[in-house]
Amino acid sequence: MPVPWFLLSLALGRNPVVLSLERVVGPQDTARCSPGLSCHLWDGDVLCLPGSLTSAPGPVLVPTRLQTELVLRCHEETDCDLCVRVAVHLAVHGYWGDPDKEEKFRRAADPELEEPRNVSLQAHVVLSFQAYPTAHCVLLEVQVPAALVQPGQSVGSVVFDCFEAALGAEVQIWSYTQPRYQKELNLTQQLPDCRGLEVQDNIQSCWALPWLNVSADGEDVRLVLDVSEEQRFGLSLYWNQAQGPIKPWWHSNLTGPQTITLNHTDLVPCLCIQVWPLEPDSVRTSICPFKEDPRAHRNLWRAARLQLLPPRGWRLDAPCPLPAEATLCWQALDGGPCLPLVPPLPRENVTVNVSTWEKIQLQDCLWADSLGPLKDDMLLVETRGPQDNGSLCALEPSGCTPLLSRASTRAARLGEQLLQDVQSGQCLQLWDNDLGALWACPMDKYIHQRWVLVWLACLLLAAVLFLLLLLKMNHVKAAARSRAALLLYSADDASFERLVGALASALCQLPLRVAVDLWSRRDLSAQGALAWFHAQRRQTLQEGGVVVLLFSPGAVALCHEWLQDATSAPRAHGPHDAFAASLSCVLPDFLQGRAPGRYVGAYFDKLLPADAVPALFRSVPVFSLPSQLPDFLGTLQGPAAPRPRRLAERAEQVSRALQPALDSCFRPPGTGRGMGPEAGDRT
């Protein structure tokens, strides 16, 4: 079964236990001493003036400790008042002018020693008693015989009966000597009220007092006032303050009996309850039952408010006294805990209504009110040495980075610029004292510079990509446009012409723009073989193309005819024999060295031996087909030729396209019209 929270607070709290007090009869004040001492109470009050400190001329008596005890001063059996008995403990302080004379001083207490001296001590001890709104002082004369005088040793005590005080009052007691040789002793004591004493039948002011009980009512608190019917009384709930007047929270005049319920969220440690009968000069009873209640302390922290005051102040508001320490910290832009300054600025101790019951931190940011919206500023801590030599470091999650360091952080990279910003007044000073300062430097311009660099890098990358795209498009366009090739051959027979047609068709798939007289017979008949060749040759060479000389036995024979002696004129050829007509232009190019780069030679290896090609035409590349198809195709395509692997694949495609025509061209004898090295011999 859980223990009610209020019972726990009673067990752990500081509520006074019920006391049974000694009775002192008679109205007169008295004084008594411990054995060996003599004392006398001076009649009447004395002035409560401690005076200034005075140097002791030798051994003197001084008070060392105060003790109090509560008693009842009774005028009659049932007419008593609460009274405070005070005991002052005394000791010998000081020597005869020089500690070296202590031995002589001690010999005075021994009759067997030489030069005995009468060194008994006398002191006037003042007791000052203050209980708002009155003050009362008494003077006690104490004498100590020489036998008890030992420097630094206690000699006994004197007891005063007694100072009258009101129930529940707070009293302050001071003790010192006249003249005063040391700082006065003081003691503060909270006197119990009627609830903590067996005085209901002895102190008349307690007879009509409303009795208050506090108990738990679930989460809430129930105040039960045990008051007779029709009795009127006052009830006040207030916040007890360590300094200054109490802060009333709720007050009402009621008629008993009453039961009042308090919400648990209203509980705080300094919440006190005061009750009194509505009669002139009545005694008020106060209790503060929530001092040790955990919920009350949680409520106190929830109610506390921290507020920053410009330019460098703060205020902490809370219902109860709460000692706290205020220090500067910093928080990153993305949130997270508030980190202490490294190196730290000097801390300021503040006591503004706060407690240390729980380690709960309250924080408030300077940006909240004084500096506008949250910014990505860099916080700089300036530390100053004894000779005005200061240093600056930037607060980052990894620590405080010196501005002129080689660390790979943002602050280190911008260290020189931030230092110039501080010196030029572009940073805002948040804090300043003799040992250091705190600066906030805006980072907007550096962020803008960084974005400018990013944009420049993006633009440069876009330009490079655009250039590559243009090159790719030009390459694609050039590949799509393809290279021109003019194919010249000798029409030895129909099977060879079919072979030439298959080669021209295969070359068009590379792609190449192939011109061959087989596909231009109408233009050839209209323009004539020589004019058609000249027009095709000029167009092909102007477009950066190439002229392909396809050698066969008939073509080799025609070349020999053109290369023989001038006395022997070449024989006539057909109107469609472009090869024969072209030799009149082709041979001068070879003879004058203009052929390389413009012409390419080729022959079919089963049709013509390699050494059959005239030596004049070997000044340009001459390829054997189909064995040298990859090299042949690469030369035809020029700069637009694909990679070797792709080129080999295209050569394989061309070889497969030529194979049927090659098979028909080289059938064995008797199987049909074929062609061999002798078939085209026209010599």
Residue 362, both tokens = 């309250």
Residue pLDDT, tens place only, 470-505: 877 665 554 445 788 888 888 888 888 888 888 888
d(CA 508, CA 36): 140
d(CA 247, CA 232): 23
Q: Which residues pair with 306 in a beta bridge?
A: 316
Q: Structure pTM? A: 0.39
Going along 347-475, which residue ranges are E strands? 348-351, 378-384, 390-396, 399-402, 428-432, 436-441
Q: What pairing do the DSSP bridges indicate for beta strands 329-332 and 390-396?
A: unpaired
Around Cβ 442, how many Cβ atoms within 10 Å?
Answer: 15
| Distance (Å) of CA 150 to CA 93, 99, 182, 577 | 9, 13, 18, 153
Answer yes or no: are the C-beta atoms of 598 and 546 closer than 8 Å: yes
Q: Which of 284, 249, 293, 290 is nearest to 270 (CA)?
A: 290
> What does the DSSP assignment read for 225-263?
EE--TT-EEEEEEEE--SSSS-EEEEEEEEESSEEEEE-
Instruction: Say whether pLDDT at 142 is over 90.
Output: yes
Mean pLDDT of 188-192: 85
Share of residues in the chain with pLDDT > 70 (%): 73
Ordered alpha helix ranges (H), 273-367: 294-303
d(CA 92, CA 152): 5
Q: List b or e across 327-362, with b for residues whose CB sees 16 or more CB atoms inside 10 angstroms.
A: ebebbeeeeeeeeebeeebeeeeeebbbbebeeeee
Question: Dihedral of CA 64/69/74/80: which sign?
Answer: positive
Mean pLDDT of 407-411: 73
Q: Which of 669, 665, 667, 627 is nearest to 648 (CA)?
A: 627
Name, in order, each residue with C-beta under 8 angstroms of 298's C-beta and a sequence gap of 6 or more: 358
Q: How confident is the model at residue 541 (pLDDT cuts 50, 70, 90)?
A: confident
Q: Which residues pair with 274 in a beta bridge?
A: 236, 286
d(CA 528, CA 518): 14
Residue 244, both tokens = 């200054």
Residue pLDDT, tens place only, 62-71: 999 999 998 8
Which pLDDT score, from 0 to 100, does residue 310 have? 66
Which pLDDT score, from 0 to 100, does residue 160 have? 94
Q: How confident is the model at residue 207 (pLDDT cuts 50, 70, 90)?
A: low
- Which of 158-162, 260-264, 446-450 has maximum average pLDDT? 158-162
d(CA 649, CA 630): 9
d(CA 536, CA 94): 136
Measured at the CA of 214, the angle between CA 211 and CA 219, to 5 degrees, comes to 160
Report phi then psi at 131, rounded to 5.
-140, 110
Over the chain, what is the mean pLDDT?
Answer: 75
Segment holding 451, helix H or strand E: helix 444-481
Q: What pairing do the DSSP bridges indicate for beta strands 546-551 and 483-489?
A: parallel
- Peptide bond just before 373 cis, omega within 30 deg: no
Mean pLDDT of 98-102: 52
Q: Which residues pair with 141 in a beta bridge?
A: 40, 124
